[in-house]
Structure 1
Amino acid sequence: MDERAAVDLNLAGWDERAVAHAAPGTGYRLEDYVEDRAKISDVVRFDVPRLGDVAGLRGVHLQCHLGTDTLSLARLGARMTGVDFSPAALEQAGALAARAGAEVDYHRADVSDGAAVLAAVGAGRYDLVYTGVGALCWLPRAADWARLVADLLAPGGRLHVRDAHPALLALDTDRADGELVLAHPWFERAEPTVWDEPGSYVETDHAFTHTRSAEWNHGLGELVTAVLDAGLQVTGLTEHRSVPWKAVDHMVELPPADGAGEWALPGDAADRVPLSFTLQARKPAQP
């Protein structure tokens, strides 16, 4: 499958899922953000100890989907912009921000096409580029993404990304015996891995028409090297034993004190494989 066909395939799927994900009663629970003007998403709450104070920062959230994390960063005091390639997702994100009384501007752009993003939101403006969980697997090349991040950042600005670990994405997560077996590509390849799955990662009664998707894994070394090659300085790299969804059937949900909405492998298995990571970097300040 060529890259353009893969991106078009994913766009059709995300347009359909955005509407289903925004429906009342799904895992996103958008109504909670409207009723509680202090609510912060579990994903952003997990990030806060490493993210630090974002008050007053100009931030851009790449691949923002419904904007719950974008809104959460705005509630922490950042002046936020959201970017996504799905018009349906941006419609839902904009509606959520309006209902929740938040000033967030949204732009449609394909993050795999840096020129389109730069035309939409402007180069060299941002103090913070934020990428949340479940984003990098939709991008064909880590190097293109890292160059885009560097272009978007103002001198002294920083990158914060937490995502699924490539080790998790390489696992066979459907095994009934609980064994941890590498069954899918760990390293980046030109050819995507194509999946055909009828449902979604949130509870919904919607019967999806677009069930196929195309994904690319990126090794942790590939991501770090891409960031360094783009001229950024790595300031932190943490591997986590948890991930914010039940990625494997025998995972256990952690108590809120350990991270609301986080799931981990049980017992000794928790120390056998990293499930997510946080990568932080900074653009050098101009002399």
Structure 2
Amino acid sequence: MSEYLRLNRAQWDERAPAHAASPGYNLARFAGDPQYLSDVVRFDRPRLGDVRGLRTVHLQCHIGTDTLSLYRLGARVTGLDFSPASLAEARALAERTGAEVDFVESDVYKALDVLEPGAFDLVYTGVGALCWLPDVRRWAAVVSGLLRPGGRLFIREGHPMLWSIDETRGDGVLAVHFPYFEQTDPLVWTDASTYVETEARFEHNTTHQWNHGLGEIVTALLDAGLELTMLQEHDSCPWDPLPGFTVGDEEGEYRLAERPGRLPLTYTLQARKRSH
């Protein structure tokens, strides 16, 4: 196993139980309300359209809340993740809610070794996924390989401009500091926290991450045989990305408190695999 996979998987394995127990993921609401959907899926439901009956794979599914939400919208869903601890939480959630969802353990780049190539109507990827992958072109090739002709990719993701911002200067300035474009070498982070409320303490705190420019992502998909059908940039995201600079709304989305039009925080992209 490569160093980046080893470090990143250890980090996700350790944090998965804390995420499942946190109010942010709200697993109790999923269990108590069979109509409940994750904030991420609910935000994009008008863009997602009718997924009833679609054979769907959710790449980098983590603890399965978005996966379950797609199932509740009628999709036939398989979730894939490289973290066994995350998948344990996802399977427990599916069992708790009576959802018929399959979960498969695999690195994204090896998805075609464990899933049927060309068999899926929809490949779905949620927020905070691509930054863990060193090569967006390899990812695009996997997406294309999973889709049947005419099948589509749906992704909402953190905007590469957001990932390039350093908000820690202490002078109230949001500075473009980190690479916007994909680099060979990773950004190495050591952070003992996580993005949900928890009192848990963690030992596996070093991760490797990469940014990918929006043009790089689109070009990779085009070169892999997909056609772009939607690209919308949003001034909001479903977690607090820049504490002290943002405010939340009633839908669980966060925006810059001052002049939110300055910075795109997320985007939604759809692409369809060409039939020839």
Q: Which of 139, 145, 164 lines up with 2:158 in the alignment?
A: 164
Contact 1:174–1:249 (Cα < 8 Å) also in 2: no
SS at match of 2:176: coil
Per the alignment, residue 247 of structure 1 pairs with: 241
Q: Output the amino acid matched with 1:5.
A: E
The whole-number CA distance in structure 2 between the counterparts of 1:78 and 1:121 is 17
Contact 2:131–2:212 (CA<8 Å) still a contact in 1?
yes
Shift of 1:19: 1.5
Distance 2:153 2:245 in 1: 30
Structure 1: distance between partners of 2:164 and 2:247 = 21
Distance (Å, rounded) in 2 between the aligned partners of 1:94 and 1:10: 21
C-alpha displacement at 1:6, in angstroms? 1.3
Q: Does the aligned pair in 1 maintain the 2:239–2:253 contact within 8 Å?
A: yes
Q: Is the 8 A contact 2:235 2:266 kept in 1?
A: yes
Q: Is the 8 A contact 2:166 2:177 kept in 1?
A: yes
Task: Say yes or no: does 1:187 pair with 2:181.
Answer: yes
Once the 2 structures are TM-superposed, how far is the Cα of residue 8 of structure 1 from its aligned partner? 0.7
Q: Distance in 2 between matches of 1:212 and 1:68?
A: 25
RMSD of the TM alignment (CA)?
Answer: 1.2
Provide the rounded CA distance (Å) in 2 between the counterparts of 1:251 and 1:52. Answer: 33
Matches within 5 A, 1:138-149: 138-149=132-143
Task: Name the SS for the 2:58 alignment partner.
Answer: strand
- Give the TM-score, by structure 1 length: 0.93
Tell whether the 8 Å contact from 1:251 to 1:263 is kept in structure 2 after alignment: no
Residue 177 of structure 1, CA deviation: 3.2
Q: Given residue 265 of structure 1, which amino acid in structure 2 is its aligned partner? A: L
Does residue 53 (structure 1) correspond to residue 53 (structure 2)? The answer is no
Aligned residues, how many?
A: 276
Share of identical aligned residues, percent? Answer: 55
Deviation track 1:88-141 (CA, whole Å, cap 9, x = no partner) reads 111110110011011100000101x2xx31121211111000000000000010
Cα deviation for residue 190 of structure 1 reads 1.0
- Indicate the SS of the match to 2:127: coil
Which residue matches 1:30? 27
Gaps of 5+ in 1: none
Amino acid at match of 2:253: E
**Secondary structure in 2 matching 1:89:** helix
Q: Distance in 1 between matches of 2:25 and 2:70?
A: 16
Q: State how far apart, in whole Å, the 2-side matches of 1:10 and 1:61 are.
A: 19
Task: Give, in angstroms, the shift of residue 223 of structure 1.
Answer: 0.2
Aligned to 1:77: 74
The structure 1 segments of at least 4 consecutive aligned residues displaced by more than 2 Å after TM superposition are: 173-178, 250-256
Could you say what secondary structure the match of 1:267 adopts? coil
Query: In the TM superposition, what are the counterparts of 1:265-280 in structure 2 within 5 Å?
Result: 265-268=256-259, 270-280=260-270
Q: How far does residue 174 in structure 1 lie from its aligned partner after superposition?
A: 2.2
Q: Does the 8 Å contact 1:253/1:261 carry over to 2?
A: no
8 Å CA contact 1:51, 1:160 repeated in 2: yes
Give the match's secondary structure for 1:60: strand
Matched with 2:129 is 135
Taking structure 2 as the reference length, the TM-score comes to 0.97
- Structure 2: how far apart are the matches of 1:107 and 1:126? 15
| Distance (Å, rounded) in 1 between the aligned partners of 2:275 and 2:132 | 30
